[in-house]
Homo-oligomer: A and B are copies of this chain.
Amino acid sequence: MSPPALATRSSSPRAPAPPATRGPTCSSTGTTTCSRSIPSNSGRAPFEPVVKPASGDVGERIVARGAVDDKGQVATFLEALRAWKETTGEVAAGVRFTVLLEGEEESGSVNLERFVAQHAKRLGKCAVCLISDTGMLGRGKPAITYGVRGLSYTEVVLHASNQDLHSGMWGGRCPNPISELVKVLAQLWDKDRKISIPGFYEGVRDLTSAEREAWKKLGFDQIDALKKIGMGPEADVGEKGFTALEREWARPTAELNGIIGGYTGKGAKTVIPAHASAKVSFRLVDDQDPRKLTERFFAWCRERTPPGCRWEFIDHSGGDPATVATDSPVLAAARRALKAASGGAEAALIKTGGSIPVAGMLKKQLGLETIFMGFGLDDDRVHSPNEKFELDCFRLGARAHVLLIDELRSMSEA
């Protein structure tokens, strides 16, 4: 996931507008970062976009790192602004947008919070934030996302000896930091794949039966989704008692995103290394607090410090979960725009397991609600080599934004 198109309608639309604009002032924000360190796309420079035929004879797709997450999605609203300018001579037909492009989302958005605080006065005039960084329910099935998970991202380094050791002389005689780290991390989950950190589920709300029923009706096919990533039905595992969709949308998770220690080249080397480390992240929901969770995880590790070893903890930050109102007038307008843009398909109300920390941040700092209108598909290979964005989806996104701007103009004129 990457950030946000921030569409703002000032409550007093005309007052601060420059002479050339009509209707509400709006601002849009988006990030241009992509996930780092992904191998090149089939030999090309990773960021170089190419248009290729989509598989299954369904048009074409753009292939490039960040094609859909989030450069391509940012382009959907920039294209809409351009279209209105070409047609009416006014950017966004006079609806006032602030466009904020952020380039650090995939590396923790370390400067965004400070930036938002510094520009709180201007950004605070926004009525709503519009972000295109989420997905559709499927091809031809538009959706609006009303919840994103939060994130707590950490790194733990376990230090043992002050030098690499020979595993012949030392094997069995002192702690091996890889083995010890592995033994600690394996305790993160119980046999039902629930997370074992005490208090971890504090702030997680129970799913209502109404929500479960509504999600069931969305027709999401986990087995088909698994097939697309090369896995069989037996890979449908996760926290016991929840469907795949419930696990992604409504339940927190703990993931090991990286691990390294000792010799990792070709062949054999009989070493006991001095340290081993892992990137450990948690996706959070509802009212879970990422800062509190990070502290709880570090404390949990500390209680399990292997004999003779010491921890080094790194907090790579994260973001709050966010759930937005599903009954606001702007969200209704977005659903109308999506329906018209897609030739009559009703936009589903969905959630996502991804994190868009800026939404929680804007809510907390400025009281601003966000509309997540996104156009990605489940098989877009986000954060993977050969990430793609279907041209059909890209064009639907541009059309939907064009129509939403029209809706916003009407709303301010009403």
Which A residues form the contact surface with B (CB < 8 A)? 1, 35-38, 69, 106-108, 135, 149, 151, 153, 155, 160-176, 178-179, 182-183, 185-189, 222, 225-226, 229-232, 234-239, 244, 247-248, 251-265, 267-273, 276, 278-279, 281, 283, 307-309, 316-317, 352-355, 378, 381-385
Inter-chain CA distance A337–B413, complex, in Å, is: 105
Q: Judging by beta carbons under 8 Å apart, are A229 and B163 in contact?
A: yes
In the assembled complex, which residues on chain B have CB atoms less than 8 Å from the CB atom of A378?
169
Other than the given A255-B272, A268-B281, 12 more pairs (CB < 8 A) read A161-B229, A161-B230, A163-B385, A166-B382, A171-B248, A173-B222, A174-B237, A179-B189, A179-B256, A183-B186, A236-B308, A269-B279
Within the complex, which residue of B38, B165, B189 is in contact with A383, where a contact is CB–CB below 8 Å?
B165
Within the complex, which residue of B155, B172, B234, B276 is in contact with A247, where a contact is CB–CB below 8 Å?
B172
Number of copies: 2
Q: Judging by beta carbons under 8 Å apart, are B253 and A308 in contact?
A: no
Given A182-B182, A235-B308, A263-B257, A353 and B169 contact (CB-CB distance below 8 Å): yes
Given A172-B353, A222-B173, A229-B162, A279 and B257 contact (CB-CB distance below 8 Å): no
In the assembled complex, which residues on chain B have CB atoms less than 8 Å from the CB atom of A165?
229, 383-384
Inter-chain CA distance A316–B265, complex, in Å, is: 12
A124 CB to nearest chain B CB (Å):
28
A224 CB to nearest chain B CB (Å):
13
Inter-chain CA distance A106–B153, complex, in Å, is: 38
